[in-house]
Homo-oligomer: A and B are copies of this chain.
């Protein structure tokens, strides 16, 4: 049984994950310093507009990818987590991560992104801890990822060990 399964909603470019478990939303952080209270919300079920996701990925300088393939990748990910900033009736996608998995032993986390304006507040850490919690709830024992050199230290602080026992990340390149 898939923990996370995506469905299309009426909008052609929105991905609306559905889940058999009840509410998959969680409000983790609230800040009320300004006139209107802002809150940060994590979800595995909320519909994600692909253009909004692309805008988020553009903001951190990622290469553009065909939306058709992004949609397919999300549909076939085991877990997709979105992070939102809500202020009154407005909400904005400020973070994203997903994981592939065999639903039994292994999960591999891909495409972790936090909007530059939301960085430096512990939100990347909160997003990753939310991912880990969800994967552990699904009894996945081996949580893995491939980290660029610049973020190894970030993941290390979250409990990820680089190249443990001499294990290497290997990427295939055509000859």
Q: How far is the CA of A30 from the CA of B143 in the complex (A)?
A: 40
Determine how many copies of this chain the complex contains: 2
Q: Which of A93-120 contact B (CB under 8 A)?
A: 98, 100-106, 108, 110
- Given A143-B171, A161-B173, A162-B169, the answer on whether A103 and B148 have CB atoms closer than 8 Å is no
**Segment at the B interface, from A18-26, A35-43, A51-59, A69-77:** A69-77
In the assembled complex, which residues on chain B have CB atoms less than 8 Å from the CB atom of A70?
104
**A102-B77, A104-B72 given as contacts; is B144 within 8 A of A172 (CB)?**
yes
Q: Are A76 and B103 in contact (CB under 8 A)?
A: yes
Residue of B69, B110, B146 touching A170 (CB-CB under 8 A): B146
Tell whether A165 pairs with B148 under 8 Å between CB atoms, given A100-B106, A103-B72, A110-B106.
Answer: yes
Q: Nearest 6 CB-CB pairs, A to B?
A: A149-B166, A169-B169, A73-B104, A160-B170, A73-B102, A143-B172
